[in-house]
A and B are shown apart, each in its own frame.
Chain A
Amino acid sequence: MQIFAFYLFASIVIASAAFCIFVRNPVHSVLWLILAFFNAAGLMLLVGAEFIAALLVIVYVGAVAVLFLFVVMMLDIDFAELRAGFMKNLPLGLLLALVLMAEIIFGIGAWSAGGMGEATAVVGPQAGGPSNIEALGTLLYTKYVFLFEAAGLVLLVAMVGAIVLTNRKRGGVRVQNIQSQVRRQPEDATRNEQPEVGKGVEL
Chain B
Amino acid sequence: MTAYLQSVLGVELGWFVGTLALILLIALPLMLAVAMIIYTDRKIWAAMALRKGPNVVGPFGLLQSFADGLKVFLQETIIPSSANKGLFLLAPILTFTVALLAWAVIPFSEDMVLANINIGLLYILAISSLGVYGVVIAGWASNSKYPFFSAMRAAAQMISYEVSIGFILISVVLFAGTFNLVDIIKSQDGHIFGMVNAYGLNPLLFPMAVMFLIASMAETARHPFDLTEAESELVAGYQTEYSSMAFALFWLGEYANILLMCALNVILFWGGWLPPLNVDWIPWFDIPGIFWLFGKMFVIFFIFSWVMATVPRYRYDQLMRLGWKIFLPVSIFWVVLVSGYLMLTRYG
Distance to closest chain A CB from B123 (angstroms)? 6
0 or 1 for each of A176-200: is its CB under 8 Å from B? (1 = yes): 1010000000000000000000000
**Which of the residues B12, B87, B126, B321 comes within 8 Å of A54, measured between beta carbons?**
B126
Q: How far is the CA of A67 from the CA of B125 in the complex (A)?
A: 17
Partner of A31, one of B129, B137, B158, B321: B137
Q: Indicate if B162 sits at the interface (CB-CB under 8 A).
A: yes
**Given A61-B130, A73-B151, CB of A178 within 8 Å of CB of B321:** yes
CB-defined contacts of B123 to chain A, threshold 8 Å: 54
Interface pair A70/B122, CB less than 8 Å apart = no
Please name the residue on chain B nearest to A28 by beta carbon.
B87
- Of A27, A62, A70, A74, which contacts B126 at CB under 8 A? A62
Chain A interface residue bracket vs B: 20 to 34
Residues A70 and B152 in contact, CB atoms below 8 Å apart: yes
Chain A residues 37 to 84 lying within 8 A of chain B, measured CB to CB, are: 41, 50-51, 54-55, 57-58, 61-63, 66-67, 69-70, 73-74
Tell me, rounded to whole Å, the shortest Cβ–Cβ distance linking B136 to chain A: 6
Looking at chain A's contact residues, the main secondary structure is helix
Give Cα A70 to B156, complex, Å. Answer: 9
Instruction: Give the chain B neighbours of A73 by CB distance below 8 A.
Output: 136, 140, 148, 151-152
Which has the most chain A C-beta neighbours within 10 Å: B158, B179, B317? B179
Distance in angstroms between the alpha carbons of A73 and B141 in the assembled complex? 10
Other-chain residue from B118, B127, B140, B318 in contact with A133 (beta carbon distance below 8 A)? B118
A55 with B122, Cβ < 8 A, contacts A63-B159, A176-B317 known = yes
Q: CB < 8 Å: which of B129, B137, B318, B321 contacts A58?
A: B129
A1 CB-CB contact with B under 8 Å:
yes
CA distance A74 to B129 in the complex (A): 21
Within 8 A of B (CB), among A123-157: 131-133
Given the known inter-chain contacts A50-B119, A54-B119, A70-B155, please indicate yes or no for A62 contacting B136, CB distance below 8 A. Answer: no
**A66, B123: Cα distance in complex, Å:** 18
Residues of B within 8 A of A70 (CB): 136, 152, 155-156
Q: How far does the Cβ of A177 sit from chain B's closest Cβ, in whole Å?
A: 11
Alpha-carbon separation in the docked complex, A28 to B141 (Å):
10
The reply to whether B159 and A131 contact each other, CB–CB distance below 8 Å, is: no
* Residues of B close to A132: CB separation below 8 A: 118-119
Q: A20 an interface residue at 8 Å Cβ cutoff?
A: no
Are the C-beta atoms of A31 and B87 separated by less than 8 Å? yes
Instruction: Indicate which residue in A1, A28, A51, A176 contacts B12 across the interface (CB closer than 8 Å).
Output: A1
Q: Mark B13-26, 1 if CB is under 8 A from A, else 0.
A: 00100000000000
Say yes or no for A13: interface residue by CB 8 A criterion.
no
Q: Say whether, besides A31-B137, A62-B130, A133 and B119 are in contact (CB < 8 Å).
A: yes
> 8 nearest interchain CB pairs?
A62-B129, A57-B126, A54-B122, A58-B126, A131-B118, A54-B119, A73-B140, A70-B155
A-B contact pairs, 29 of them (CB 8 A): A1-B12, A1-B15, A34-B133, A41-B126, A50-B118, A54-B123, A54-B126, A57-B126, A57-B129, A57-B130, A58-B122, A61-B129, A62-B126, A62-B130, A63-B129, A63-B159, A66-B133, A66-B136, A66-B155, A66-B158, A69-B136, A70-B155, A73-B136, A73-B140, A132-B118, A133-B119, A133-B179, A176-B321, A178-B318
